Chain A
């Protein structure tokens, strides 16, 4: 009965209802598109960090290896027998593990026979490369980070184990232009030199096959992706820098990492697991998301503030106009709480209907923006990415709930103030 009355009341002053509704819709669309943008960026950066930068959902290092591996590689690398011990411990979690991999990283010089320039390489096992480059999460969220021929890298390694993938910019530095696979064999052949685990200079032959992007402006001049065995040969080792664990569902990532570290500690094993969103593992992901969350917090504050003020204004005007009506309701026996609740219900109806309209509008805007295919290069990102908006249903429900709570609370507080007036004062109000 009350809800119906509240709904009918919306049509008593259509202009004001529309004005308030428009403010709620604008706020709703703003929040949902901002949330949709952050959602898309988060998914993209997550897929890039986990799959394309080969960190896995969980990275396992030798204890302190993350910090000290570069200074004493032989001590902090994970030897093959230690890898077996880690895999044994991971069996406990195998129901949620998609696959595990191992990686080695290092720096050195890449030479075209005439000049050399520095590189920063990651050597990854073939299974991980194959699964990562073709992973549905990558295809859905992070395809902007893939070069045209990135997916050909696995096939190239299968036919030539010396194949490496380097960034287009590193290629330019050694006078090699993409596509590398079309270069004559002599030009594709390069040499990699680096300090091995004994502290001696070593070098190996390699063949340029495909290009890839690190996704980071800082690393793009030196990025290299190589087969795990080739980097092991370069650094004269049979060990890995870290092992990666790829989960089927990363919903309980922090708990899984904590349990894993507890297992290592309990068995007195010198290993340490990190989630991919640890600042030491994915500084780019953590930094970008931190900035976006701070920016979003600011905008949410502004939007919610504007919506709340619109509601306060509209309700105050409505109450001023309806003071005598409120007095009449009070005179015929309505309790102040009942009247406050009815007026709050009006605002809740308005907010709910505006949210429904807002979802449709936000979806239409996102479709138009995505079809327009705007591209831009975010700060610190080496590739041009498409500006995409995504209307996420869960987020829409959450924002609707947030706005309903905001509108409901605001309305109730405003009407409660008016209810403090005596019935006689309400009935004799001139409406001015």
Chain B
């Protein structure tokens, strides 16, 4: 009788430990993968060129991204009609401003930026801060073990409600993602490449070079985000202050 109870306690402890380990693993993997997508405390700068192919038409936009911690200042460079427009990310709040406006406009990170890319896709990624991960399973992709995480949004003002996220066990970098509706159906898919390099704390770290976001239903409609010339660069806090975005 006593032996039986001991077994049950032991099994419960093992299950709880396993779950705790899985959560901790998920968070660890997310933190590591964020570093290669701009989610670092140091100041960083890079350019993003977004090529959108939609209904057979192609268009290109270019942005300069300056990120530091939870803040990012994204300035439109091209096309000429959009030059000078600024998207400001303050933690999870997002603002849009252009020089002709008297005041900035509070916008949502979920809103479409261009093509398949949402506003929230353009800045640095902080999935470890914004989402609760659960390890769903592991898969073998091109001979590498890959963890499949289910990320659930911690707040309702985030870019996506749910994300299925594939992180390589070997590189600790995300290689693909599925952006899900509340019902769990994928509406966009993304693949990521890491051919850029940055120095974090003196260590060369691979940095995202390309993200291709595809419409889950109409696969010909896609946006390709190319990350150009990423570099560590300190930024004044003032460029992230929304009060400085007034005419």
By a beta-carbon cutoff of 8 Å, the part of chain A in contact with chain B is 72, 109, 111, 113-116, 189, 191, 193, 195, 198-205, 236
A123 to B96, CA, bound (A): 23
A411 to B100, CA, bound (A): 80
Contact A113–B112 (Cβ < 8 Å): no
Contact B102–A189 (Cβ < 8 Å): yes
- Starting from the known contacts A113-B106, A204-B100, 19 additional A-B residue pairs (CB-CB under 8 Å) come to A111-B106, A113-B104, A116-B106, A189-B103, A191-B103, A191-B105, A198-B59, A198-B81, A199-B52, A199-B112, A200-B82, A200-B114, A201-B85, A201-B107, A201-B111, A201-B119, A203-B97, A203-B105, A205-B100
Contact B114–A109 (Cβ < 8 Å): no
**Contact A116 B105, CB 8 Å, known A198-B59, A199-B59:** yes
Binary A-proximity of B112-147 (CB < 8 A = 1, otherwise 0): 111100010000000000000000000000000000
**Contact residues in B for A199 (Cβ distance below 8 Å):** 52, 54, 59, 112, 114-115
Contact A200–B107 (Cβ < 8 Å): no
- B61 CB within 8 Å of chain A: yes
Binary A-proximity of B43-61 (CB < 8 A = 1, otherwise 0): 0000000001011000101
A109 to B96, CA, bound (A): 11
Contact A191–B102 (Cβ < 8 Å): yes
Give chain B nearest CB distance to A170 CB in angstroms. Answer: 16
A199 to B119, CA, bound (A): 13
Contact B82–A203 (Cβ < 8 Å): no
Contact B59–A111 (Cβ < 8 Å): no
- B10 CB within 8 Å of chain A: no
Give the contacting residue for A203; candidates B96, B108, B112, B119; CB below 8 A: B96
**Contact residues in A for B155 (Cβ distance below 8 Å):** none
Binary A-proximity of B74-92 (CB < 8 A = 1, otherwise 0): 0000000110010000000
A429 to B59, CA, bound (A): 99
Main secondary structure of the interface of A (DSSP, over half): strand
- B98 CB within 8 Å of chain A: yes
Most buried by B among A115, A199, A202: A199
**Contact residues in B for A191 (Cβ distance below 8 Å):** 101-105
**Contact residues in A for B102 (Cβ distance below 8 Å):** 189, 191, 205
A240 to B97, CA, bound (A): 26
A193 to B108, CA, bound (A): 11
**Contact residues in A for B59 (Cβ distance below 8 Å):** 198-199
Contact B106–A203 (Cβ < 8 Å): no
**Contact residues in B for A200 (Cβ distance below 8 Å):** 61, 81-82, 114
| A/B interface sample: 16 pairs, CB < 8 A | A111-B104, A111-B105, A113-B103, A113-B104, A115-B106, A116-B106, A191-B102, A193-B105, A193-B107, A200-B61, A202-B98, A203-B96, A203-B98, A204-B100, A205-B100, A205-B101
Most buried by A among B98, B103, B105, B112: B105
**Contact residues in A for B97 (Cβ distance below 8 Å):** 203
A325 to B21, CA, bound (A): 108
A115 to B94, CA, bound (A): 10
Contact A109–B103 (Cβ < 8 Å): no
**Contact residues in B for A236 (Cβ distance below 8 Å):** 81
**Contact residues in B for A115 (Cβ distance below 8 Å):** 106
Contact A201–B96 (Cβ < 8 Å): yes
**Contact residues in A for B61 (Cβ distance below 8 Å):** 200
Most buried by A among B55, B104, B115: B104
Closest to B102 in A: A205
Contact B103–A111 (Cβ < 8 Å): yes
Q: Which 8 A-B pairs have the closest CB atoms?
A: A113-B103, A111-B105, A116-B106, A193-B105, A191-B105, A203-B105, A205-B102, A115-B106
Give chain B nearest CB distance to A185 CB in angstroms. Answer: 10
Give chain A nearest CB distance to B88 CB in angstroms. Answer: 13
Contact A204–B82 (Cβ < 8 Å): no
Contact A204–B101 (Cβ < 8 Å): yes
A111 to B106, CA, bound (A): 7
A285 to B101, CA, bound (A): 39
Contact A109–B105 (Cβ < 8 Å): yes
**Contact residues in A for B106 (Cβ distance below 8 Å):** 109, 111, 113-116
Contact A195–B112 (Cβ < 8 Å): yes
Give chain A nearest CB distance to B117 CB in angstroms. Answer: 11
**Contact residues in B for A193 (Cβ distance below 8 Å):** 96, 105, 107
Give the contacting residue for A116; candidates B101, B107, B112, B113; CB below 8 A: B107
Give chain A nearest CB distance to B202 CB in angstroms. Answer: 39
A205 to B59, CA, bound (A): 27
A116 to B106, CA, bound (A): 6
Most buried by B among A72, A113, A189: A113
